[in-house]
Amino acid sequence: MKKSLYKMLNEPVFDNPYMLVLWSGDAYGLEPQVLKYITSSHPAEEFCRINPSIFFTLDGVHVKDNIAVMPTCSLYRYSDRLVLLSADSPNHDWYRFLTTVLEIAELCRVKEIVTIGTMLTISAHTTPRALFGIFSSEKARKEIDEPSLGREVDYYTPQGHHPSLSSYLLWVSGKKNINAVNIWVSEPFYLSGIGDPKARKLILEYLDRRFSLGLDYHRVNEEIRVQSEKLGKLRLRTPTVDEYFMKLETGLPLNDEETLRLVREVEELFSS
Amino acid sequence: MGLKVFRRIKLNNPVMVASWPGIGNIGLIAIEYLRQNTACEPLGEIEPWDFFYPGRIVVKSSVLEELQFPASRFYLCRGKAKDIILFIGDEQPHEKMARYAKGGKAYDMAQLVIDMAEKFNCSRIYTSGAAVALLHHSRKPRVLVVPNTHSLIDEIRSYHNTTLLSDIQGKDGQGAISGLNGLLLGVARERGFDALCVMGEIPVYLQGMLFPYPKASLAVLEVLSEMLSLDINLKKLAVWSKKVEQKLDQLLEDFNQSLPIQLQEGVKEGLDKLRITPATPEQLTADDARKAIEEIEKFFKTGGAGDEEKPL
């Protein structure tokens, strides 16, 4: 029996939409949180499901928040200008998976694909976050005219690491001549385990501006206020941590011991 | 899923020699040495994206310039008696984090390699890898040859320093060759090609190490040179092999010194037994010898547990 790669649940109408790709297994939690935020006040309608049995090792189920779940692999209509893809990273056949995504994108006449990610930096939480764009081609770099994106990134994958699935999607999009951009937001390294609402807000503002999402920032502003207040109290009561923050604020690096101590102090603060 | 052929040309009585990484990278070093020391030219490649996850990206001025995958390339090496198509795979396609190829991906890749052999009318296919053996690293490794048809047995016996599984005590001609260096023999047989796997012996205590073992590659190349009537200068490989052997002497000496004094004699005795030619399993049944091998293997074993050619 030949398995179909995906199943259309209905036939939504789009008007040259963008496709926002949000992997649910993002190591720093940014993508699931962004998905939750933008769909909480504006539900999106699922219109297509990619067959998980082709791309995932289905040798059992994962349990998330006490619930057994299958791998996520769905496309949603958010508006006539925006398609959302929410998916776990496949276990194998990545190229076939990504070409399947692009086949559906072509069916929907998607004009640009956007992914997001986190770039950890040696900086303080009081330093403004920044956005960087990595483009699928020189043509995409020219056509995606977004002044808020840093556009002079030079990078290669360090030894022992692998490219992200977003980078792989960027490359496959380039081969198919579809414009694509990875948007990376900077985040202080010591917030990677607990989340960085300032980074998230910057991404949300970017997506809102480009896709007219009409977001309400009240909740994320509140998260920023609470986190800033807690970190402020931590530096007041722990002079060593204050010293580390000051070093980072003035562009000085921390040594390994200081780095570990700062991460531990911050994680303890937010776990209590 | 594709095979790309760069040039269509008529070859002279061609054969194919293929290898993928494995224990001690024995086959791969042998084939790579052949490539570097003969006048070879690129002949084709297997498109990587159906088999591998990319290993590296290069971004310049915010534009994705390059996505690099493990390569699977064919080269043409013109010989006096026959032309040779070399195939070198940077990685074995694997699923579920296994170290060596298995399942559908491995089978698909083997089919593409055979497609290439078919396109150029190769008369025979050779693969190469490692054979884990009860052997001391100071001894010259034998070369175990496994064919995919009985009709090659007599020919194999006619080459120097070769052995068949049936020649090894206790094996009765039975065994297994893991990964693509073995699977290709089976797929070749399905498709009607004669094929054989040429495996250099590697000491059992080195099978988990992550560094190369050129001494076995040298033995493999000596046999392949005879099989393919190649005139190839093996001096550089011999020099490298000697250096690795000296390094191993030093490492084992350091290891023995690091043991409690009451264990040192036993380990030394166990290793010394492996110096005897030919080693047989019976010679290693003594507790001290077995313990010595286990300890040394632990000492060297820094990588994964998967094995490739493990016929012994």
Instruction: State the Cα–Cα distance between residues B172 and B186, nearest whole angstrom.
Output: 20
How far off is chain A from B1, nearest CA to CA, in Å? 10
Q: Which of A92, A96, A140 sits opposite B95 (nearest CB)?
A: A92
Nearest to A182 by CA among A161, A201, A155, A159: A155
Are A263 and A203 within one domain?
no
Instruction: State the Cα–Cα distance between residues B117 and B294, nearest whole angstrom.
Output: 42
Residue A230, pLDDT above cutoff 80 = yes
Instruction: State the Cα–Cα distance between residues B126 and B194, nearest whole angstrom.
Output: 9
DSSP annotation string for chain A: -PPPSEEESS----SS-EEEEEETT-TTSHHHHHHHHHHHSS--EEEEEE-HHHHS--SS-EEETTEEEPPPEEEEEEETTEEEEEEPPPSS-HHHHHHHHHHHHHHTT--EEEEEEEEEES--TTSPP-EEEEESSHHHHHHS--TTEE----EEPPTT----HHHHHHHHHHHTT-EEEEEEEEEEGGGTTT--HHHHHHHHHHHHHHHT-----HHHHHHHHHHHHHHHHHHHH-HHHHHHHHHHHTTPPP-HHHHHHHHHHHHHHHH-
What is the residue range of A241's domain?
A: 222-271
Mean pLDDT over B136-165 rounds to 93
Mean pLDDT over B44-58 rounds to 93
Predicted local distance difference test score (pLDDT) of residue A167: 94
Lowest mean pLDDT among A241-255, B47-61, B118-132, B198-212: B198-212
Are A210 and A226 within one domain?
no
Are A47 and A107 within one domain?
yes
Number of residue pairs across A and B with CB atoms under 8 Å? Answer: 72
Residue B283, pLDDT above cutoff 80 = no
Predicted local distance difference test score (pLDDT) of residue B284: 39
Domain-located, residue B194: yes
Domain-located, residue A1: no
Instruction: State the Cα–Cα distance between residues B293 and A61, nearest whole angstrom.
Output: 41
Query: Residue A134: its chain B contacts at CB < 8 A?
Result: 59, 62-64
SS3 B50: coil
* CA distances in angstroms from B41 to A173, A221, B6, B109, listed in the order given: 32, 62, 10, 22
Query: Residue B57: its chain A contacts at CB < 8 A?
Result: 155-157, 163, 167, 171
How far off is chain B from A170, nearest CA to CA, in Å? 8
* CA distances in angstroms from A24 to A21, A52, A120, A130, listed in the order given: 10, 14, 19, 23
Predicted local distance difference test score (pLDDT) of residue B253: 86
Domain-located, residue B1: no
Are B117 and B178 within one domain?
yes
* B146: Cα within 13 Å, side-chain hemisphere: 27
Query: Residue A151: its chain B contacts at CB < 8 A?
Result: 61-62
Nearest to B20 by CA among B166, B155, B182: B182
Contact predicate B173/B166, CB 8 Å: yes
Q: How many domains does the structure of chain B reveal?
A: 2
Q: State pLDDT tens for residues B218-254.
A: 999 999 999 999 989 999 999 999 999 999 989 888 8
Are A152 and A182 within one domain?
yes
Contact predicate B57/B68, CB 8 Å: yes
Contact predicate A255/A247, CB 8 Å: no
Closest residue, chain B, to A170 (C-alpha): B64
Q: State pLDDT tens for residues A140-180.
A: 999 988 888 888 889 999 888 889 999 999 999 999 999 99
Instruction: State the Cα–Cα distance between residues B232 and B173, nearest whole angstrom.
Output: 32
Query: Residue A56: its chain B contacts at CB < 8 A?
Result: none
Are B226 and B245 within one domain?
no
Are A129 and A11 within one domain?
yes
What is the residue range of B191's domain?
A: 7-55+65-234
Residue A267, pLDDT above cutoff 60 = yes
Q: State pLDDT tens for residues B284-300.
A: 334 444 555 566 566 55
Predicted local distance difference test score (pLDDT) of residue B303: 37
User: With b meaning 16 or more CB within 10 Å and e meaning fewer, what string describes A145-154?
Assistant: eeeebeeebe
Chain A touched by B65 (CB under 8 Å): no
Model ipTM over 0.90: no
pTM exceeds 0.90 for this model: no
Domain-located, residue B230: yes
Are A176 and A233 within one domain?
no
